[in-house]
A and B are shown apart, each in its own frame.
Chain A
């Protein structure tokens, strides 16, 4: 467009013939047909100016103007002349005409473009269709060839089949023939054999006669002495009685054998019947819901109820003693029926299960399946959690095991310190407890000492009382014996001294006998008797030692 403008502006007259070259210049179309058409009218840009100058020169300006005017008017444009008949040009109309021509040019160009585009499209469509067509033709060819090949193979196979059938028939015929041959030969051989055998028999007879005639003079058998029979019986004559007895015995043997067999069979039968009964009971127990249905049906209700009753009767204990046909048949029939019912039941269950799997609108199944799925999901989650826990624990363990040496030592030290502290705590606790125990023991010993003292006092009182009694008695009996009150204190002193001496001796004996643990108590006693002050433990120990030494 730009090119076109620069060329035409200086020259006001536009040649319609120049339009074509410009369009051709602008559109170097790739399509062959277009290019062919356009190349014919493709002048170079250099020739533009020559064209312009070829049409309108300075000589024929007016002629060219009138020519242009004529052309324009024929095309429907207003005249370029001014209205007055002069040779004055109406510039405005010229410009309008030029504009109109330009617009027309544009439109034409666009239309041409469109047409060319469509042309191209159609061309490519055509190509495509032609390719498809070629391919389809090829495919058709191929498939036709295949069909032909397959038909050929089919024919071959059929012929082979026929041949094989023929062969088979031939073989069968041959086999038949051979069998016939064999049978005929066999009969022939039998016949020959029989003939030969008869001859042989005749010879044997002859020989037998000869042998019997030539009776040997010597005894055929010589025995030193007769041998007793194995069972000790004597030989018997052959009589009819013996024959009858033989028959009897033989029949007895046979009968006993048969009886034995029959017993075995009866036992087997009884066992099998028991097993069948058991099976029937089991089957019936497996089918509780089914039983009700047949009873609901009114048509067969009576019959079935009868049969149920029969079955009930059959279940009685003495059933298997009857072995007549009807009972047996009933049993087997009932079992067959129950078995069939069980089979139906199982089949129904199978169907239900399969329906559940295929996911039909059986609500119960669907819901249960959903529940089932939920549960499985829950379980899976739990499993996951557990696994994670296990992993973390494992990691921790690993960390512990595979720490650096320093950290392990530190850790161990920490543990040791911990332990030590704990131990120290425990020790202190223990010591405290020990002290408490000692205190308690001390108090117990004091209590025991007190108790001992009280006992001593009590004993002294008792002794005194007894003495008093005795003395009073003796005083009563022997009024001469004067027991002055003065002697009492002496006696008392003596007694106390003796008593005082007694306790050490009394207590001394136990000292040696009892273990040292109790010695503090006794030592304390003795100490307390002299010095009833409570001392510290270590002092006690020392004093007791001293005491023991002195004693």
Chain B
């Protein structure tokens, strides 16, 4: 599904054929599929309206108007039948039910990055709240929206919460002024708290491993600390230095190939080949010899939210690899082998990395840097894929299909789908 201005276009994922076309009242700001893929919600924040469309019944429609309360965020509940709207200034979260037309309110939600978290199985929802200058977490049962637990957290200013994939542990972390991670069990007991250091800027990003065994914490000191789920103590620190000296790390460097018009490429009609080779530069990966020094950027000292530290973390689906990005070295993706807790690969790109995402099925990583190429890495090697087409297609973000067969590449105005062929075994 994609939206253009105020129109919603639904396409088929394998053929990109247009299936449905809907028109909304205003420019759509946010789009989300329901969990059973039957409904799509379109949120228009300016007007404060959320419209829901059905895929099976194109005539069915639903409109939710927040009125003067305004709308800041909207999302589906895991059962696909409730919509949670966050009103302006985070006054409240309204839970609209599509089945019963009933409304519930959650008061005093916290205005933070990740204030609402659902468990993977969709049973429970954790909401961060703040009353009287104190942080609280409420756990609701999603089936009937009953409050299960309500407890306070020892944080200064709760920044985010995230459930572990097994749904039993909730990680809550503090603002970047304080390095603190609190781990709560499902029934609200504090299992453990972890604090690495006191004064410098703290946590920038957090990721759970898919087996809930590890919690990776990326912080502003350019390190990732991994906690284990048995003792909730740090098992290792992964450092991101600017010079890589270890002989066991492979460094792939993206190198620009000079554009050549070679006659081997007969698959394309010659004119297009000429055009693409003249206007777009080809690039490929080269293995650099260790020691390699990466481009290190020292951040401006007096700005808030400096581009320092580990800003992006992602575990691979098979729990074997962890991909990180150190914002000081914005062109490199660091891939760590979790079984050995060592740095295994570094991908050095030509431009700043915008986004990377692991394939949901295999240990494959797709990286985009804002150029018209998507980069794929797997333990077998890495490859540069050029998006064919005239003109520049600057990929800003990407998203994998849940089967791992195709990938959605988004630029500012366009998107394209990249299909990956499966090897015949």
Contact = CB atoms under 8 A, between A and B. Distances in A.
A42 interface: no
A105 B80 CA distance: 148
A253 B92 contact: no
A304 to B, nearest CB: 37
**Contact residues of A: prevailing secondary structure:** helix
Q: Please indicate which of the listed interface residues A193, A211, A238 has the most CB atoms of chain B within 10 Å of its own CB.
A: A211
Interface in B143-168: 144, 146, 148, 156-157, 166-168
A227 B98 contact: yes
Interface string B216-256: 00000000000000000000000000000000000000000
A102 B32 CA distance: 147
Determine which residue in B60, B65, B144, B177 has the highest number of CB atoms from chain A within 10 A of its CB, and name it: B144
A190 B156 contact: yes
A216 interface: yes
A250 B187 contact: yes
Given A223-B98, A247-B148, A216 B65 contact: yes
Interface string A212-249: 00101011111111111111000110100011001101
A9 to B, nearest CB: 107
A190 B134 CA distance: 12
A242 B140 CA distance: 13
A220 to B, nearest CB: 5
B103 interface: yes
A204 B141 CA distance: 27
Contact of B123 (A218, A224, A230, A253): A253
A231 B133 CA distance: 39
A432 B185 CA distance: 109
A179 B99 contact: no
Contacts of B63: 221-222
Given A194-B133, A238-B144, A230 B187 contact: no
Interface residues of B, number: 49
Interface in A176-224: 179, 182, 186, 190, 193-194, 197-198, 201, 204, 207-208, 211, 214, 216, 218-224
Nearest to A214: B68
Nearest to A205: B91
What secondary structure prevails in chain B residues at the interface with A? loop
Interface string B156-189: 1100000000111000000001000000011100
B68 A224 contact: no
A15 interface: no
Contacts, number: 106
A257 interface: yes
A197 B133 contact: yes
Contacts of A493: none
Interface string B64-81: 111111000000000111
Contacts of B102: 235
B81 A227 contact: yes
A164 interface: no
A185 B164 CA distance: 35
A251 interface: yes
Contact of B141 (A225, A230, A246): A246
Given A182-B199, A190-B156, A254-B185, A220 B92 contact: no
A235 B168 contact: no
Contact of A221 (B69, B89, B101, B157): B101
Nearest to B63: A222
A222 B62 contact: yes
A221 B64 contact: yes
B96 interface: yes
Given A211-B67, A230-B36, A257-B168, 9 more contacts: A193-B133, A207-B89, A220-B66, A222-B63, A224-B60, A224-B61, A227-B81, A227-B99, A231-B79
25 contacts: A186-B177, A190-B156, A194-B133, A197-B133, A201-B132, A207-B91, A211-B67, A214-B67, A221-B62, A221-B64, A221-B96, A221-B103, A224-B60, A224-B61, A226-B101, A227-B98, A229-B99, A230-B35, A235-B99, A235-B102, A235-B144, A246-B144, A249-B141, A250-B148, A254-B168
Interface of B: 35-36, 39, 59-69, 79-81, 87, 89-92, 96-103, 123-124, 130, 132-133, 141, 144, 146, 148, 156-157, 166-168, 177, 185-187, 199
List the 8 closest A-B pairs by CB distance, nearest first.
A216-B67, A257-B168, A223-B62, A227-B98, A194-B133, A246-B141, A230-B79, A235-B100
